[in-house]
Amino acid sequence: MGGMSGTLRTLFLHPPSFEGFDGGAGSRYQAKREVRSFWYPTWLAQPAALVEGSRLIDAPPAGLTLAEVAPLARDYDLAVLHTSAPSFAHDVKVAEALRATNPRLRVGFVGAHVAVAREAALKASPAIEFVAGNEFDFTIQEIAQGRPIAEVAGVSYRTNGHVHRTPERATLEDMDRLPWVVDVYKRDLEVERYFIGYLLHPYVSLYTGRGCRSKCTFCLWPQTVGGHRYRTRSVEHVVAEIAHATRLFPQVKEYFFDDDTFTDDLPRAEAIARGLGRLGVTWSCNAKADVPYETLKVLKDNGLRLLLVGYESGSQAILNNIKKGIRLDRAREFTRNAKALGIKIHGTFIMGLPGETRETIEATIRFALEIDPDTIQVSLAAPYPGTALYREAQERGWLEADTLVDAGGVQTSVLGYPHLGRTEIFASLDAFYRRFYFRPRKIFAIGAEMARDRAVLRRRLGEGMEFLRFLARRRRERH
């Protein structure tokens, strides 16, 4: 298979999921959300685009099991695995299986979870040779080019039983140095396999920048890989990549900009929107609930379809506790404006944040019913290592359980308070979904959408099944 001289034959792997590992016990869930959805492995696609001749395998959406992935280890010199807090223990087993197939394979781990505790991650298994720090694109490129690892900045590694750490890598400032990912998507992925319930199908998502100006205490990426400045690619670089993507993927119906807060830089967001408007594409992005009407109008006039908005809570005290930097009246006004312009909203909420009580749970559900986003997602507060919420929870003894997911990969409620136990917080999720969706208005809206579009019908029926199974499962767990 000889790679380019000096270049290591490199496999970028999003490891097989829980389901895959178990060999298909059909009732298991691999995602920590209630509806199975797949995001693009963009964090791996970026370095993959920097390493000539590499291959990116995204095992979960491809339905690949460990038994199918392990033999591939023979064809590579280097495997880079993207891991996360809930999947880490399992990903280590995957690394060991790859090494069992090819003992000469070099294995590195990347991702926020290991970047914040590199040495601890290395200790988890001798199969892991190195762990990269926060922004790992060029770290991996240099290793893949065959540079001695001791000379590569931003990495912790093992040699002769000892663990070493090289100097930190400088934060990437010239974001246009990040390569386009759509060519890697085209080469290695099947866009039809990526589903997100509230996005049109097929969709493509990518980043136009990193970092978020807000300091929400629970939010992982800005506190680890991204930082609190919004570092951005140029408008031209972004628009040219989307133009290229439309030629690669004529079938794609929607582009999603997964930047933490795409609307952090309003003039830039408007400039990109105008470029997208000229291309005539439909697009969506993440936003905070404070975008002014004038900007919303420009975005909508240029193809914006949907905003993914983190409302988190309907209690101002909780929003203040988590440093969300949002006022409820502002969020209400933003939502009214977006709706008046015909922009769809997928609202996300979190139960069990610091300060949560029965009353604030009720207030949040009422708030959601009042502002009425088109769709919602409710999560449990998850204190990820590396976040201020995690440190706060540790200090105050709120960590009632020490895993973020159960053995099947379902998100568990970790935070508990003296006045509000985690079982009760967990139960509030069901109540929230039921009260939001089982309203005539919502059932009618979803029915009308399905009647218009058979593809939506098929997708929603599939999701409906997952959702009902999820509810059934939750009930089982409570008893």
Instruction: Tell me: does residue 214 bind ligand SF4 (CB under 6 A).
Output: yes
User: Which C-beta is closer to ligand SF4: that of 309 or that of 371?
Assistant: 309
Piece in contact with ligand SF4 (CB under 6 A), picked from 188-196, 202-210, 215-223, 447-455: 215-223
**Amino acid identity, residue 207?**
Y
Give the x-and-dash track for 249-268 against ligand SF4 (CB under 6 A).
-----------xx-------
Cα–Cα distance, 100 to 382 (Å, whole number) = 34
CB-wise, 146 or 325, nearer to ligand SF4?
Answer: 325
- 164: tokens are 């070493």
User: Strand, coil or helix: what is 257?
Assistant: strand
Tell whether residue 386 is a contact of ligand SF4 (CB under 6 A). Answer: no
Q: Which is nearer to ligand SF4, 76 or 384 (CB)?
A: 384
CB atoms within 10 A of CB 210: 23
**Is residue 219 within the footprint of ligand SF4 (CB under 6 A)?**
yes
Rounded CA gap, 19 and 2, in Å?
34
Judged by CB, which is closer to ligand SF4: 156, or 232?
Answer: 232
Stretch that binds ligand SF4, among 15-23, 142-150, 214-222, 409-417 (CB under 6 A): 214-222
Nearest distance from C-beta of residue 353 to ligand SF4, angstroms: 11
> Which residue, 7 or 261, is less far from ligand SF4 as judged by CB?
261
Q: Is 91 a binder of ligand SF4 (CB under 6 A)?
A: no
Q: Which long-range contacts (CB under 8 A, 24 or more apart) does 222-226 make?
A: 222/260, 223/386, 223/387, 223/388, 224/112, 224/115, 224/116, 224/134, 224/386, 224/387, 225/43, 225/112, 225/115, 225/134, 225/135, 226/260
# chain residues binding ligand SF4, by CB under 6 A: 9
- Smallest gap from Cβ 416 to ligand SF4, in A, equals 22
Report the nearest approach of ligand SF4 to the CB of residue 322 (Å): 8
Helix, strand, coil % over all residues of the chain, rounded to 5: 45, 15, 40
Selected from 113, 288, 300, 422, the binder of ligand SF4 by CB under 6 A is 288
**Distance of alpha carbon 206 from alpha carbon 180, whole angstroms:** 9
Separation CA 70–CA 271 (nearest Å): 45
The footprint of ligand SF4 on residues 19-58 (CB under 6 A) is none
8 Å CB contact between 211 and 261: no
- 137-146 in b/e form (b: 16+ CB < 10 A) is bbbbbbbbbe
Contact 364, 351 (CB under 8 A): yes
Quick one: which of 206, 216, 285, 368 contacts ligand SF4 (CB under 6 A)? 216
Q: Is residue 99 a contact residue for ligand SF4 (CB under 6 A)?
A: no
- Write each residue from 221 to 250 as x if it is in contact with ligand SF4 (CB under 6 A), else as -, in one continuous string: -x----------------------------
Binding span for ligand SF4 by CB under 6 A among 81-89, 193-201, 208-216, 295-303: 208-216
CB of 81 to ligand SF4, least distance (A): 25
Rg over alpha carbons for the chain, rounded to the nearest Å, is: 22
Distance set, CA 235 to CA 6, 43, 281, 288, 301 (Å): 35, 20, 16, 20, 18
Three-class SS of 114-139: HHCCHHHHHHCCCCCCEEECCCCHHH
Question: Binding ligand SF4 by CB under 6 A: which of 212, 299, 382, 415?
Answer: 212
Q: Give the DSSP letter of residue 222.
A: I
Q: Which is nearer to ligand SF4, 141 or 286 (CB)?
A: 286
- Which residues have a Cβ under 8 Å from the Cβ of 7 and sit 6 or more positions away? 51, 52, 53, 144, 145, 146
310 binds ligand SF4 (CB under 6 A): yes
Distance CA 231, CA 209 (A): 5
Nearer to ligand SF4, 145 or 348 (CB): 348
Give the residue with the Cβ less far from ligand SF4, 279 or 388.
388
Interface mask toward ligand SF4 for 162-201; x: CB under 6 A: ----------------------------------------
Nearer to ligand SF4, 166 or 316 (CB): 316
- DSSP H/E element including 349: strand 344-351
User: Which residue ranges make up the site for ligand SF4 (CB under 6 A)?
Assistant: 212, 214, 216, 219, 222, 260-261, 288, 310
